[in-house]
Structure formats: structure tokens, C-alpha cells
Structure 1
Amino acid sequence: MAYFSSSSSKNPIKLLHFLTILSFSFSWASSPSPSIHDLLVSRGLPKGLLPEEVKSYTLSDNGTLEVLLDEPCLTKYENRVLFDSVVRANLRYGSLIGVVGLSQEELFLWLPVKDIIVDDPTSGLILFDIGVAHKQLSLSLFEEPPHCKPQGILKNQVRKQKGFEAMR
């Protein structure tokens, strides 16, 4: 590199330029990964698709996304959803394909979510493929990451809110 020649040490501007580039390179290499929510947005998905309580994630070169939570938990968009402690999917622009570890409650049944797709962001809709059906939800439900509660806590809160009716 020309920056290391003997003439470079005599030219403070070249040396300063080299040090600036070197420090930028180190800060860029050591910068933290984007949050899972920022990653989703950069890939055409809403940031509220995954809960606030995501502990970590990995994204492989082939697009396989693995999201880790401390424990399985429940939250609600339009209906209740259950996140396992590990959620996996193939992340493509505007979609999570082959989702594993996410279930949605439909008519008192827990059905696994297979795919999540935003075909046209201007439509304001997101599609959940739950195998036996496709469900379209408003993107506005996913504007902010939801808080996810451990599975038992949410069930107990529902019972307390509904009282005797929930006990039947």
C-alpha cells in the first residue's frame, strides 16, 4: 500500500487519511448487528412481527433465520400467537417462508404458521399461511414489537379478567 512508503510518513495529510480509513474500518467491523426488528424492516417486513423479548438471532448466508427467546411465550395480534423458544424461517424480502416455532389460535385450535408474506406493502395487509387457510391481517397490527408473556401467565390473566365465565 502506498500509505506505508517512506514518503507517506513525511506527508501528514496522507498519514491522517490512512488513520481515518483505518479507524473507520475497525469501527465498522466491530459495530453490532442490527436488532432483529431493524433487520425485519430492512427486508420489507414489519418490525412488530417478532416480540420485544427476542434474546438473539442468527441469519445465515443462505437466508435461514433463527430467533431465540428465553422461553415460549404468548402475545396477541388479532388472535393469540405462541412463540416457541426457537423460531426458524427462511428470510426473503417481504416474507418468512417455512416458519417453524410459531402457532396461531384459530377457533380454539392452535395451528402452525407456515409462511408470512407481505406481497404489496401499499395494500396495508400481511398474509399468514396457517396450512388449512390463508389469513390476511392489517399491517397496522405489527407496527411495534409486542410484549410476549410466558405461556402460563397470559392464561391466568385471561381467567382473572373473565372471572367465572373463563373457568367453564
Structure 2
Amino acid sequence: MAASASRNMVVFFLGLFVLLLPLVSGGAIHEILRSKGLPEGLLPKAVKSFSLDESGRLDVYLDRPCYAKFDNRVLFDSVVRGNLSYGALTGMAGLSQEELFLWLPVKDIKVEDPGSGVILFDIGVAHKQLSISLFEYPPDCSPEDADRIVTPSSGFLGRKAGREGTAEQR
């Protein structure tokens, strides 16, 4: 009886460790993406930590907003959220992509046919197909312009006046 209780306790703590491991390290998120049929390079190297619950709700934490370049520039907020399932990251918040001088929120990312070499970005007004090879490796994420980029949620599409000044000052 004592051996059974001891074994149950070991199983319990091992299960708890497995559940809490994603909260500890940001590097493991790239491996999780790969295990879910998505490329590792969807999220930047700068991931500080993340949480993934049993329903697939993913919260990724960065030290600060930053931007990277895939096909076009993308802006990662300090928290990126979405629902992770095999081949898809849906219902996203915290990721915007620059299209024709506008910053549009990325709503879904999907790999519908892994053999096609194509990844699909849903940016609301359009679906954009990109080569999956653009996402092989986690990109570097640069914070220097992130404080000057204004996304649709802040009420203006374009760039904030920053070091360059406003249009009237130039």
C-alpha cells in the first residue's frame, strides 16, 4: 500500500513538473511550435516566458514590444496571445503586420498542408500566403522602432512622431 501511494505521488509531481515547465523557459516555446506542426520562427528569440494551458490557450511574454522582419515587418507586443492547435495559431492578439504603410493585426496563422511549403496569415482584410522557409529560425527582434509604431488599437495607422519630429517640423 505504501509503495502504491509513493508511486502515485511520484506520478503526480512528474505531471505537475511537465505542466509547469512551459512557464519557466521561453526557449521551449519554439520546440512546442514545431511539435504542433508550426515553424519555430513564428515567435522571436526574445521570448522571456510563456504559458500554455490544457485547452491550447497560449500567452507569450516579451520584455517589451519589438519588431522583426519576415516578408514585411511585424510588430510583437509585449504579450502575444492565441489558441494553439496542430497546424494553427488562431484568435491571436499582440501581433501586427505592416502592409502598404498600415499596421494590421494578425488574426490567425495556419499551415493547412505541411507539404505545400506555405503558411497562411489572416490579417483580417486579406489572407496572405508566405513561404514557410521564412520562418525556419526564430528571428531577432529589435525594440528601437517599436515605441514609434502605432497599431490600429492605438487609433492611428502609421508612425508616431518620434526622433524625426512631426510632419510640420520636417
TM-score w.r.t. length of structure 2: 0.73
Q: Give unpaired runs (5+ residues) of structure 1.
A: 5-17, 156-167
Superposed CA RMSD in Å reads 2.7
Amino acid in structure 1 at the alignment position of 2:34: V
Is 1:36 matched with 2:29? yes
Change (3 A) 1:125 1:149: same
Amino acid in structure 2 at the alignment position of 1:87: V
Q: CA deviation at 1:27?
A: 6.9
CA distance in 2, matches of 1:86, 1:143: 22
Q: CA deviation at 1:62?
A: 1.4
Per-residue displacement from partner, 1:46-93 (whole Å, max 9, x unpaired)?
000000000000011211100000000010001000000000001111
**Identical-residue share of aligned pairs (%):** 60
CA distance in 2, matches of 1:101, 1:130: 12
Pairs within 5 Å for 1:86-101: 86-101=79-94
Q: Give unpaired runs (5+ residues) of structure 2.
A: 149-169
Change (3 A) 1:25 1:95: same
CA distance in 1, matches of 2:83, 2:10: 35
Q: Point out the more displaced range, 25-34 or 118-127.
A: 25-34
Q: In the alignment, which residue of structure 1 is the partner of 2:46? A: 53
CA distance in 2, matches of 1:84, 1:2: 50
Q: In the alignment, which residue of structure 1 is the partner of 2:120? A: 127
Alpha carbons 2:64, 2:77 under 8 Å: kept: yes
Alpha carbons 1:74, 1:154 under 8 Å: kept: no
Please say which structure displays the higher CA radius of gyration. 1
Q: Once superposed, which parts of structure 1, at least 4 consecutive aligned residues long, lie more than 6 Å away?
A: 22-28
Aligned to 2:103, the other structure's residue is in SS state strand
Q: In the alignment, which residue of structure 2 is the partner of 1:9? A: none
Aligned to 1:38, the other structure's residue is in SS state helix
Alpha carbons 1:50, 1:145 under 8 Å: kept: yes
Alpha carbons 2:91, 2:107 under 8 Å: kept: yes
Q: In the alignment, which residue of structure 1 is the partner of 2:72? A: 79
Aligned to 2:145, the other structure's residue is in SS state helix
TM-score w.r.t. length of structure 1: 0.74
Select the residue among 65, 69, 77 that pairs with 2:58: 65
CA distance in 1, matches of 2:114, 2:137: 16
Aligned to 1:100, the other structure's residue is in SS state strand
For this pair of structures, how many residues does the alignment match?
142
Q: In the alignment, which residue of structure 2 is the partner of 1:12? A: none
Amino acid in structure 2 at the alignment position of 1:89: G
Q: CA deviation at 1:2?
A: 7.7
Higher helix share: 1
Q: In the alignment, which residue of structure 2 is the partner of 1:117? A: 110
